[in-house]
Amino acid sequence: MKLIDLELLMTGVVLNAAAQLLLKVAAQSAGPLAPGLAGARSFAAALAVTPACWAALVAYGLSVGVWSAGLSRVPVSQAYPLLSAGYVLMLLAGWWMLGETPTPMRVGGIAVIIAGVAMVAAS
């Protein structure tokens, strides 16, 4: 895989991870989802006025565009495993930005993912 191809695909992964993080921030801002249709409507209304929700949607849109550009250059069987790098990004972002505590089991699992992504990128 050429460096530019890897850069395109990893930019898509980073944008997707950023969208997930922003969506988590938006969901926390909106508060917990209450049961029933009224709860869903209230939650949706709260999300609709949360800037982090709109930023997440923009990041998702950009990630799809960048990812598509990468897919135009690389076989999908080589590109798709790179999405797993998002697990690493989210573990670190959740720990750093949201105060989530990574467990040894989760860190070990993600280490296995990193090894697999490195092997795919090198192929």
**Would you say the C-alpha torsion 21, 25, 30, 33 has a positive or negative sign?**
positive
> What integer pLDDT is reported at residue 87 of this predicted model?
86
- Give the other-Cβ count within 10 Å of 42's Cβ: 15
| DSSP label at residue 31 | -
- The SS3 of residue 69 is helix
> What integer pLDDT is reported at residue 86 of this predicted model?
87
Please name the residue that has the structure tokens 């993080």: 21
Inter-residue contact 53 to 22 (CB < 8 Å): yes
Q: How many domains does the chain have?
A: 1
> What integer pLDDT is reported at residue 81 of this predicted model?
83
Q: Enter the pTM of the model.
A: 0.82
* Residue 109: domain span: 3-122
Inter-residue contact 19 to 93 (CB < 8 Å): no
- From first to last of the 123 residues of the chain, give the pLDDT tens digit: 788 999 999 999 999 999 999 999 999 998 888 899 988 999 999 999 999 999 999 999 999 999 999 999 999 988 888 888 888 888 999 899 888 899 999 999 889 888 887 787 677
User: Which are the contacts of 40, defined by CB distance < 8 A and separation ≥ 6?
Assistant: 33
- Interatomic CA distance for residues 80 and 82, integer angstroms: 5
| DSSP label at residue 35 | S
- Interatomic CA distance for residues 120 and 108, integer angstroms: 19
